[in-house]
Structure 1
Amino acid sequence: MIEHVNQLCGQPPHIGPPPTDSTPIVWAWSTSSETLGGHPVNTAAAILDTNERTRAERMIKPADRHRYLASHLGLRIILGAYTNLPPQHIRLTREDCPTCGGPHGRPSTPDSPLHFNLSHSGDLAYLALATRPTGIDVELTPTPQTVTDILHTLHPTETDELTSLPEDQRPQALARVWTRKEAILKATGHGLAEGLTHPYVGSHPTPAAIPGYTLTDLPAPDHYTAALATANPAE
């Protein structure tokens, strides 16, 4: 289990040893920051690629655009630090989707053999780096209405677990289910295209076992929940 999450702030990051087969590395940062890793967020567009800039430009709300720019600026700063490349020289690509074969599977870069995955919610971004396929998710605690909307789209056992809880405990339980499920689906490359029913990840404090993957909950600030999934070594 990862007990420490590295923090990216306004100064260039201090990069320790790279991830190993047994220890992925997780970074987190505030997407409301004005400066990350020595780069002003309001100049991030000059560092991002065409696809990233296009997506940012489509965002109507300035706050949403700022969070997106900060998320991807942080991604590039950290990948650049591990690859000894300037952030703007990092090439971001996608693997083929295992469901349809389209170019929207797991994110990757030809500049490094490391696997990585990015997630952001509210004012927080998390990034996982690993030697094997990995997925990460961070989410704000959902509202009671969100619990009602999503409850019956989950695995039937997860639905039963949540409905058996007092109503005031359901949002946090759903947050555990959602982050675990999205982390594992990002690690496999399937994403949410096939819905939230499978796999069963559980709502209890300890995640359910997932064949072929290690699934763990991550430390997170108040009102946030995060989870990490990483493929196990081939036997």
Structure 2
Amino acid sequence: MLRRLMGAYLNVPAGEVEFTREPCPGCGEPHGRPAVASAGAPHFSLSHGGDLTLIGVAAAPVGVDTEQVPAAHTVGEVSAALHPAERREIMAAPAVRRPAVFTRLWVRKEAYLKGLGTGLGRSPDLDYLGNGGPGTPAWPAGWTIVDVPVGTGHAAAAVRGELHSRYDVRRLDPRGLTA
């Protein structure tokens, strides 16, 4: 599906789309963000969780993530890895809402780290991507965070560098992608 989509952007058959790895921002080795090998190709990010696949395509580095809402015990175990202000937001929510609040914050975090090109190689507690409000830190400068509407049971987010043009969220039928 990714080859078909990127082939449509590049106006080439899906089979001609070649992928590579960008240099890692931490060490410079070629195990960073996946990329299309063609010069001038748009940036992309891919995520899947449960029965949902999310692909972000942009002129600037982009990251996307989607996850199924986890069980309450997972929230307790994994939220310790988040920024302290994000953990406070999760715990401030009614117990029944905590899994959904956690998942919204987690997908923002993973999408941002993918956009940076570090993935979870960068500690998730360093950057705040919470819901904001009085006394909370600002989101990382130069990044745009978009909560992607995906329905109940999942959460999804996309990030990219500063937004200088409009963005679209579209549901695509992969059978309709041709190049």
| 1:2-151 paired onto structure 2 within 5 Å | 74-111=1-38, 112-151=40-79
Amino acid across the alignment from 2:139: A
In 2, Cα distance between the equivalents of 1:115 and 1:79? 9
TM-superposed CA distance for 1:210, in Å, is: 2.2
Q: How many residues align?
A: 160
Residues 162 and 170 of structure 1, relative CA distance in 2, 3 Å threshold: same
RMSD: 2.0
Cα offset for 1:193? 1.2
Which 4+ stretches in 1 moved above 3 angstroms? none
Aligned to 2:110: 182
Please list the CA deviations of residues 190-216 of structure 1 after superposition, one character each: whole Å capped at 9, or x if unmatched: 1101232121101469xx532011111
Once residues 84 and 49 of structure 2 are traced to their aligned partners in structure 1, the CA distance between those partners, rounded to angstroms, is 26
Q: Do residues 154 (structure 1) and 121 (structure 2) align?
A: no
- Map Cα deviations across residues 61-88 of structure 1 (whole Å, 9 max, x no partner): xxxxxxxxxxxxx101111111122212
Higher relative contact order (CA 8 A, sep 6+): 2
Gaps of 5+ in 1: 1-73
How much has 1:182 moved relative to structure 2?
0.6
Partner Cα distance (1:113, 1:86) in 2: 14
Counterpart pick for 2:120 among 186, 192, 200: 192
Cα distance between partner residues in 1 of 2:3 and 2:86: 36
Letter in 1 for 2:121: A
Q: Deviations over 1:159-203 (max 9, x none)?
A: 111112221110000011110001111111111012321211014
Residue 227 of structure 1: aligned partner = 157
> Match of 1:94, as an amino acid?
R
Q: Find the residue that maps to 2:80 and give its secondary structure.
A: helix
Contact 1:173 1:203 in 2 (8 A): no
Contact kept? 1:218, 1:227, Cα under 8 Å:
yes
Q: TM-score, normalised by structure 2?
A: 0.83
> Do the aligned residues in 1 keep the contact of 2:81 with 2:124 (CA within 8 Å)?
yes
The residue that corresponds to 1:37 in the other structure is none
The CA deviation string for residues 47-106 of structure 1, in whole angstroms up to 9 with x for no partner, is xxxxxxxxxxxxxxxxxxxxxxxxxxx101111111122212110011011012221212
Partners in 1 of 2:89 and 2:162 — Cα distance?
28
SS in 2 for 1:185: helix
